Amino acid sequence: MSVYGYRRGSIFWALTLIAVGVIFLWQNFSPGVRPWQIIAKFWPILIIFWGLSKLIDYVVARAHPEQAPRSLFTASEVILLLLILALGTLVSKIVLHPWQEAVGIDMGDEGIARLFLNSYTYTQTVSRPAPAQPHLLVVDRRGDVEIRASDQSTFDAIVKKTIWADNEADARKISDQLKIEIVDQAGRSLFQTNLDSLSGGGRNVRLDITLRVPKQTSAEVTAEHGDIILDGLHGEQSVTNRHGDAHITNIQGLVRVDKGGGLTEVRDLNGSLDVEGRGGDIDVAGVTGAVTVNGEFSGEVQFRNLPQTLRYNSQRTNLTAQRITGRLDMDVGSLDLTGIAGPLDVTTRQKDITVSDFQHSVKIADTNGDVQLRAGVPPAHPIDVDLRKGEISLTLPPASNFQIDAKSRQGEVDCDFSGPGLKVSKEGASPSITGTFGKGGTTIRLNTEYGAVRVLRQGAQPPAPPAPPAPGKSETTQTLGRRAHAPHWAWLRADHLPRVSLCRACLGPI
């Protein structure tokens, strides 16, 4: 008689332990291997193998029908699966995501190792005469880099060395072995160290670098794990910042920023700005030249006082704006712009958009979100809004002249403006506002698939809430009342009230 008592689960877990042990053993022979990075990226394979093990058990059990079938998962295995999912997700968030730098925590392999070591700090100064046209190259794998302009003609560096070791003697030995210098190389001044040649590739060493340089210095700065500060330089600047914040102020010349995470802050730049990559917040103000941002930035994005063209391109939003005199704030679900003297062109999805005090053309395409526009002057340039789902509200000065084509296919329309050339159709499946107001002029096109379209007169006071119709008042009587008040009547409907008619002349219900 065949007895099926084979338990593959024990072999599966044994192989899992062997695999984890091999990864950490591999690191001992190859210091470049990062076990926690490997585990954080590939831990879901554990669940895949477990599922394959269960599938094999099921197939083998089918070959032994004389045995009672085992359940697919026991209660303890379900709990274990949930625990693996929770721990795997937590490890991935901690090890792979750049939020660690925001709170000053390094949870890579060396970061975990440092929890069991002591830290020791040493300071070293380096100085070298600068050439007539200084071009400085700085690369720092771990640590902050600060470069500030001065009236001197030398490169002066103060380096704070933080070393993690078992004891002070070991830390002092590493500090003595660490060489820091500024050398001339191919027409550039290179800040260099022998950090990579130290034991373990210098993984337990952090260098915070502070440099005072001539004002006319052009710099190329890379900080893989740390912040970058540039202040007061005259010349082209290039910043590469993988995990950390970048603060750039009072620069004259082109600035290029390549980000991998963290904040990007630029203030008072007399030149153009190019930002690429990904990260958190962006805060840009007082840039005299063009500003271009390409990438994915998940935090709050702010632009202020940009007299030239702003271009922002991401997977979700493409925006071009010229002459921002006020402020633009944008996050995942909203875009607010107050004060723009030039054209605005936005293509996005699932954002609520508010534009106030605009003076030029506006073109907006959005898939899902409300759009509110408030013109600062009577429009003299086209206004074009196209939504798939959302409400459009356009507020214009009383002295405006325009040609309008506004439609809501599954909603309603309201218009504060009236005249012989303007037709407001509220009935049917596609309410619309079409025609000409005043002397004609610029074209306005508003279109939404699901939502209301409202064209409002600036400064108009909203009417008092209408009284309910008198009991027994028939629809025929209401219709006659509307005709008596024509052409002043218009629909007014609150979301929680039935549709009623109101006279614009007497502000009384019809």
- Average pLDDT for residues 475-484, to the nearest whole number? 38
Does residue 60 fall inside a structural domain? yes
Q: Is the per-residue pLDDT at 10 higher than 70?
A: no
So what's the pLDDT on residue 339?
Answer: 96
Does residue 345 fall inside a structural domain? yes
Q: Is the per-residue pLDDT at 223 higher than 80?
A: yes
Q: Is the per-residue pLDDT at 273 higher than 90?
A: yes
CA atoms within 13 A on the CB side of 126: 20
Please check whether residues 456 and 321 belong to one and the same domain: yes
Does residue 237 fall inside a structural domain? no
**Single-letter amino acid code for the residue at 296:** E
Secondary structure (3-state) at 257: strand
Pick the range with the lowest mean pLDDT from 70-74, 120-124, 138-142, 311-315: 70-74
Domain edge (last residue) among 438, 460, 482 = 460
Q: Is the per-residue pLDDT at 422 higher than 50?
A: yes
So what's the pLDDT on residue 96?
Answer: 62
So what's the pLDDT on residue 496?
Answer: 36
Please check whether residues 352 and 480 belong to one and the same domain: no
Please check whether residues 331 and 438 belong to one and the same domain: yes
> Tens digit of pLDDT for each residue in 286-330?
999 999 999 999 899 999 999 999 999 999 999 999 999 999 999
So what's the pLDDT on residue 476?
Answer: 37
Calculate the CA 122 to chain-centre distance. Answer: 38
So what's the pLDDT on residue 122?
Answer: 96
Pick the range with the lowest mean pLDDT from 7-16, 42-51, 86-95, 388-397: 7-16
Residues 24, 35 contacting (CB under 8 angstroms): yes
Please check whether residues 349 and 448 belong to one and the same domain: yes
Q: How many domains does the chain have?
A: 3
Higher pLDDT, 53 or 293: 293
Please check whether residues 503 and 413 belong to one and the same domain: no
Domain range for 73:
8-96
CA atoms within 13 A on the CB side of 337: 35
Residues 206, 224 contacting (CB under 8 angstroms): no
So what's the pLDDT on residue 355?
Answer: 97
Residues 6+ apart with CB under 8 A from 304: 284, 285, 286, 324, 326, 327, 328
Q: Is the per-residue pLDDT at 227 higher than 50?
A: yes
Please check whether residues 409 and 496 belong to one and the same domain: no
Please check whether residues 380 and 496 belong to one and the same domain: no
So what's the pLDDT on residue 495?
Answer: 38
Q: Which helix (H) or strand (E) holds 252?
A: strand 246-252
Higher pLDDT, 499 or 194: 194
So what's the pLDDT on residue 49?
Answer: 76
CA distances from 17 to 21, 56, 113, 158, 308 (A): 6, 20, 21, 47, 60
- Other C-beta atoms closer than 10 Å to the C-beta of 93 total 13
pTM of the model: 0.70
Does residue 110 fall inside a structural domain? no
Q: Is the per-residue pLDDT at 413 higher than 80?
A: yes
Please check whether residues 450 and 325 belong to one and the same domain: yes
- Average pLDDT for residues 421-440, to the nearest whole number? 90
Residues 6+ apart with CB under 8 A from 452: 391, 392, 408, 411, 412, 413, 414
Q: Is the per-residue pLDDT at 483 higher than 80?
A: no
Q: Is the per-residue pLDDT at 111 higher than 90?
A: no
So what's the pLDDT on residue 430?
Answer: 86
94 phi and psi, to 5 degrees? Answer: -75, -45
**Single-letter amino acid code for the residue at 235:** G
Higher pLDDT, 151 or 54: 151
Please check whether residues 496 and 449 belong to one and the same domain: no
Secondary structure (3-state) at 53: helix
Please check whether residues 437 and 502 belong to one and the same domain: no
Does residue 509 fall inside a structural domain? yes
So what's the pLDDT on residue 19?
Answer: 78
Please check whether residues 456 and 478 belong to one and the same domain: no
Domain edge (last residue) among 37, 66, 96 = 96
So what's the pLDDT on residue 484?
Answer: 39
- Average pLDDT for residues 384-392, to the nearest whole number? 94
Q: Is the per-residue pLDDT at 368 higher than 80?
A: yes
Domain edge (last residue) among 81, 96, 111 = 96
- Average pLDDT for residues 419-445, to the nearest whole number? 91
Given pLDDT bands bounded at 50, 70 and 90, which one contains residue 178? very high
Given pLDDT bands bounded at 50, 70 and 90, which one contains residue 95? low
Please check whether residues 19 and 69 belong to one and the same domain: yes
So what's the pLDDT on residue 197?
Answer: 86
Given pLDDT bands bounded at 50, 70 and 90, which one contains residue 473? very low
Higher pLDDT, 12 or 152: 152
Structural tokens at position 359: 């003076």
Structural tokens at position 423: 């037709």
Does residue 235 fall inside a structural domain? no
Does residue 491 fall inside a structural domain? yes
- Average pLDDT for residues 353-364, to the nearest whole number? 96
Does residue 160 fall inside a structural domain? no
Residues 6+ apart with CB under 8 A from 369: 333, 348, 349, 350, 351, 352, 353, 387, 389, 390
The torsion region of residue 306 among left (phi > 0), alpha (psi -120 to 50) and beta comes to beta
Output the 3-class SS for 86-152: HHHHHHHHHHHCCHHHHCCCCCCHHHHHHCCCEEEEEEEEEEEECCCCCEEEEEEEECCEEEEEECC
Q: How far apart are CA 73 and CA 96, in angstroms?
A: 31
Q: How far is it between the farthest Cα atoms of the chain?
A: 100
Taking the alpha carbons at both ends of the chain, their separation in whole angstroms is 94
